[in-house]
Structure 1
Amino acid sequence: MFGSIYIGLSGLAAYSRGLQQISNNVANLNSQGFKESTVTFENVLGANSRSRNGYAGTAGNGVRNGESRLDFAQGELRQTDRDLDLAIQGEGLLMLIRGDKVAYTRTGSFEVDKSGFIVLSGTEYRLATLNDAGRPQTLSVDLSRTSAPKATTKVAFTDNLSSSATKPVTVGGIDVFDATGAKHVWQAVFTKDVSANAATGSWNVAVTDDKGAAIGTQTLRFGTGGSVDPTAATLTFSDSVSGASVAFDFSQGVTSFSGGDVSTLRASAVDGYGQGTFTSLGVNGQGQLEIGYSNEQKQQLGSIAIVDFRDTAQLSQQAGGLFTALDTSQRDILPSGDVRVGKVQSRRLEASNVDLTVEFSDLILVQRGFQASSQIISVTNDMIQQLFGIRGQS
């Protein structure tokens, strides 16, 4: 009979621990990246015993908490305004490295520390990326804060140069960069050649710099159909002062049809750029860390490492939305976009996956279980008192 009290006590202890798990789930309803844990119970059996009537069996010894497992169902991805707020659309985890320690997270707000490393805010854990060999590494953006200049080599023109224009046509504001990154603004003036010896559809192209100094003059020719003469589709101008040598390309859709005094000829594309400084850091559509520069150039630093665990039971939830692994032999480290891990999303944070409907239902069941277990103790106590009273009655 005394065993019934211990069975009731096992219920009180198990349901108390179950209540603690449920309370922890509910309290973390708004914790970023939190994964709820399941609440389960299992029966406890004692050793084989033989009663006085000769019946042998296994005695029940109450209840205990079953193994708790994390539910890795994805939470809602909520939009933010920070480029380094990261989450994963899929089942993988971001990999974090601090010295010889490794942790994982589903989501997090990251920042650049004083050494240029990308770290999880409030911690020293650095975000891992993949090197050329596909192995995880941490990297500093300090080595990539400047974008080297590129000299301009080509200016592409497009649209129509009116064949009936009576005045020169000017295309200005052509930014040309030399090898040092210095910018020079060129201007091209197109004047129809009306001299007696000039071929039909010939135009003199005079190029000057922003100081009015002449760069050079060459001839652009059009055929009778209004298209550019292929032999004169590219004109090269060289500046002896800046050292810039630039090819003016008229082969991409430049025409010469009658348009009165209206010409739409323009410089549609200019390669080359000056030196750029660091302006932004984020994640592109391919899941790569990408730096933006003031010269409108971008540089990819590496693909963010995403980890796939074949058995998530190997993961243990830690404070701050972190997870640690008991066994790393069953993990794969993959780039963003792999179907096994999903895709990194920038300007997103994953919310908790706690389902209040489930938690409140479990809360009621735990409460009832606790009440029933306490009733077992109460009834057993009454029976023991009755047993002790037999002698007094006799």
Structure 2
Amino acid sequence: MTQAHFNGVSGLIAFSTQLNNVSQNISNMNTPGYKGKDSFLKDVESNNGMGLGVSYQGTGTRSKNGDSKQTGNQTDLFINGKGYFILKDSKKEIFYTRAGQFKFNEEGFLVDQSGMYNVMGFNGNKLVAININNYESLPPAQTTVLDVNGILSTAETTPYKLNNVNIYDSTGSLKSLSISFEKQSDNTTVGSKWSYTITDEKNKILNTGVINFTLAGTVLEQFLDIELNFDEGKQNLKLDIGGVSVVSVGNSSVQANATDGGPRAGIVGYNFGQDGILEISYNNGQKKKTSQALGLASFSDETKLIQDQNAFFHKPENVKVNYSKPDLEYFGKIQGGYIELANIDLAQEFGNILIIQRGYQASSRVMNVANEMLEQLYNSSRGG
């Protein structure tokens, strides 16, 4: 009877511990990247096979991935498949997580929301902290190609002038040009020569030349390499005139647009591709991919990972880890603008609560019965 009493006590302790674990799961059901735990019990036997109750064996982490949730923040990242993000703190200690709530700090490093852990990635085959300092802006670039297209008509009696043609010089400054097209005096057919004159805003002549057309009205040469003589210096420019044609009726209509060049540009957005490579968008419309890719980790046994605060994990020594880039055969792909929710199933947790409650009630009942029997024994002894 005494042993039955102690068995009941061990049951109460074990079921209470299990309930603590369930309550921890439920309280973290909205914690991104949190992985639920299952608690395990084992029976206790003496050397002669007598039952000594139950003891709490420990917990196991559920390896199932949680569902995704859209956030709209492009530095929030979701792993669609296997793998954990790799993080490193100031003491060089490595942690792992599925909670991809990241941001760029003032030093350009990709960090977790607390700012205490650097997100690691690959630069070539080397694992490094992801940093965008080298991509914060694009340097100014001069225009090298001017795309000219449209129609020149031999029916025109005066030169055709195209105004407000914008290009950029080497400092990223905007230059506004005008281009005049004039047919040669002997033009009587579609196959002809036209002269062009390029001037600046002050009407200074920067360059002149001739465009030759075939009898079919198309240009003989698609590209013209010219030199613009600005007051500040010379600038080489390629005219792409392949889209210009000559007709014998109607009016002239020509457009010219710079295909490249621009002022210094700053960052306006980020986008992580499925391969984990960051593409940066700039305010001049350009995009550029960095040389770094997010790193992911996989383990020989995920269930043995030890969960810390913030849904971070560290691995015990007996668990092997493998690092690689996303979008490979074994690892998952990255989805920007999403985070992973906890993998908690409330139906399962409520079911566990009912089982724990029944076990606790039964253990309590065993103790009550044992107490009653002991009391009856004591009363019988006094009566004798």
TM-score above 0.5, yes or no: yes
Matched letter for residue 340 of structure 2: E
For the residue of structure 1 that corresponds to 2:175, the secondary structure is strand
Indicate which of 71, 82, 92 corresponds to 1:80. Answer: 71
Is this contact kept in 1: 2:152–2:244, CA < 8 A?
no
Alpha-carbon distance between aligned partners in 2 of 1:83 and 1:196, rounded to the nearest angstrom: 59
Report Cα offsets for 1:190-237 as digits up to 9, x if no partner. Answer: 3333425988243322222233222222222332334332xx221122
* Structure 1: stretches of 5+ with no match in the other structure: 50-57
Report Cα offsets for 1:336-379 as digits up to 9, x if no partner. Answer: 21232212222212222211111001110000010011111111
Matched letter for residue 102 of structure 1: I
Is this contact kept in 2: 1:218–1:235, CA < 8 A?
no
**Structure 1 position 135, deviation (Å):** 2.2
Does residue 181 in structure 1 map to residue 172 in structure 2? yes
Report Cα offsets for 1:31-66 as digits up to 9, x if no partner. Answer: 11111112333323221x2xxxxxxxx222222334
Is this contact kept in 2: 1:11–1:373, CA < 8 A?
yes
Matched letter for residue 267 of structure 1: A
Q: Could you tell me which residue of structure 2 aligns to residue 357 of structure 1?
A: 347
Which is strand-richer, 1 or 2? Answer: 2
Alpha-carbon distance between aligned partners in 1 of 2:280 and 2:331, rounded to the nearest angstrom: 24
Indicate which of 125, 142, 157 corresponds to 1:151. Answer: 142
Alpha-carbon distance between aligned partners in 2 of 1:375 and 1:227, rounded to the nearest angstrom: 101
Change (3 A) 1:243 1:45: farther
Matched letter for residue 222 of structure 1: F
Is this contact kept in 1: 2:165–2:257, CA < 8 A?
no
Is this contact kept in 1: 2:75–2:336, CA < 8 A?
yes
Alpha-carbon distance between aligned partners in 1 of 2:319 and 2:61, rounded to the nearest angstrom: 20
Q: Could you tell me which residue of structure 2 aligns to residue 367 of structure 1?
A: 357
Q: Could you tell me which residue of structure 2 aligns to residue 250 of structure 1?
A: 241
Change (3 A) 1:163 1:45: farther
Is this contact kept in 1: 2:267–2:281, CA < 8 A?
yes
Change (3 A) 1:383 1:288: same
Does residue 106 in structure 1 map to residue 98 in structure 2? yes
Alpha-carbon distance between aligned partners in 1 of 2:345 and 2:246, rounded to the nearest angstrom: 69
Report Cα offsets for 1:128-186 as digits up to 9, x if no partner. Answer: 12112x2221144334323222332222344x415465264444443322333333223
Is this contact kept in 1: 2:160–2:180, CA < 8 A?
yes
For the residue of structure 1 that corresponds to 2:298, the secondary structure is strand
Is this contact kept in 2: 1:190–1:205, CA < 8 A?
yes
Q: Could you tell me which residue of structure 1 aligns to residue 255 of structure 2?
A: 266
Q: Could you tell me which residue of structure 1 aligns to residue 39 of structure 2?
A: 39
Matched letter for residue 6 of structure 2: Y
Alpha-carbon distance between aligned partners in 1 of 2:286 and 2:20, rounded to the nearest angstrom: 53
Report sequence identity in percent. Answer: 27
Is this contact kept in 1: 2:191–2:216, CA < 8 A?
no
Q: Could you tell me which residue of structure 1 aligns to residue 286 of structure 2?
A: 297
Alpha-carbon distance between aligned partners in 1 of 2:182 and 2:274, rounded to the nearest angstrom: 47
Alpha-carbon distance between aligned partners in 2 of 1:207 and 1:318, rounded to the nearest angstrom: 69
Alpha-carbon distance between aligned partners in 1 of 2:327 and 2:268, rounded to the nearest angstrom: 26
Alpha-carbon distance between aligned partners in 2 of 1:317 and 1:147, rounded to the nearest angstrom: 41
Q: Could you tell me which residue of structure 1 aligns to residue 114 of structure 2?
A: 122
Aligned pairs, number: 379
Alpha-carbon distance between aligned partners in 2 of 1:218 and 1:287, rounded to the nearest angstrom: 50
Q: Could you tell me which residue of structure 1 aligns to residue 223 of structure 2?
A: 234
Q: Could you tell me which residue of structure 1 aligns to residue 335 of structure 2?
A: 345
Q: Could you tell me which residue of structure 1 aligns to residue 26 of structure 2?
A: 26
Is this contact kept in 2: 1:93–1:104, CA < 8 A?
yes
For the residue of structure 2 that corresponds to 1:39, the secondary structure is strand
Is this contact kept in 2: 1:228–1:250, CA < 8 A?
yes
Report Cα offsets for 1:103-150 as digits up to 9, x if no partner. Answer: 122123323333332221223111112112x22211443343232223
Alpha-carbon distance between aligned partners in 1 of 2:160 and 2:313, rounded to the nearest angstrom: 67
Q: Could you tell me which residue of structure 1 aligns to residue 372 of structure 2?
A: 382
Is this contact kept in 1: 2:63–2:303, CA < 8 A?
no
Is this contact kept in 2: 1:177–1:244, CA < 8 A?
no
* Structure 2: stretches of 5+ with no match in the other structure: none
Alpha-carbon distance between aligned partners in 1 of 2:122 and 2:209, rounded to the nearest angstrom: 51
Change (3 A) 1:269 1:151: closer
**Structure 1 position 258, deviation (Å):** 6.5
Alpha-carbon distance between aligned partners in 2 of 1:339 and 1:262, rounded to the nearest angstrom: 58
Q: Could you tell me which residue of structure 1 aligns to residue 266 of structure 2?
A: 277
Report Cα offsets for 1:314-343 as digits up to 9, x if no partner. Answer: 321111121222238622222221232212
Is this contact kept in 2: 1:89–1:342, CA < 8 A?
yes
Alpha-carbon distance between aligned partners in 2 of 1:307 and 1:211, rounded to the nearest angstrom: 62
Alpha-carbon distance between aligned partners in 2 of 1:328 and 1:346, rounded to the nearest angstrom: 33
**Structure 1 position 81, deviation (Å):** 2.9
TM-score, normalization by structure 1: 0.86
Deviates more, 1:134-143 or 1:301-310: 134-143
Alpha-carbon distance between aligned partners in 2 of 1:329 and 1:70, rounded to the nearest angstrom: 14
Matched letter for residue 97 of structure 2: T
Q: Could you tell me which residue of structure 1 aligns to residue 17 of structure 2?
A: 17
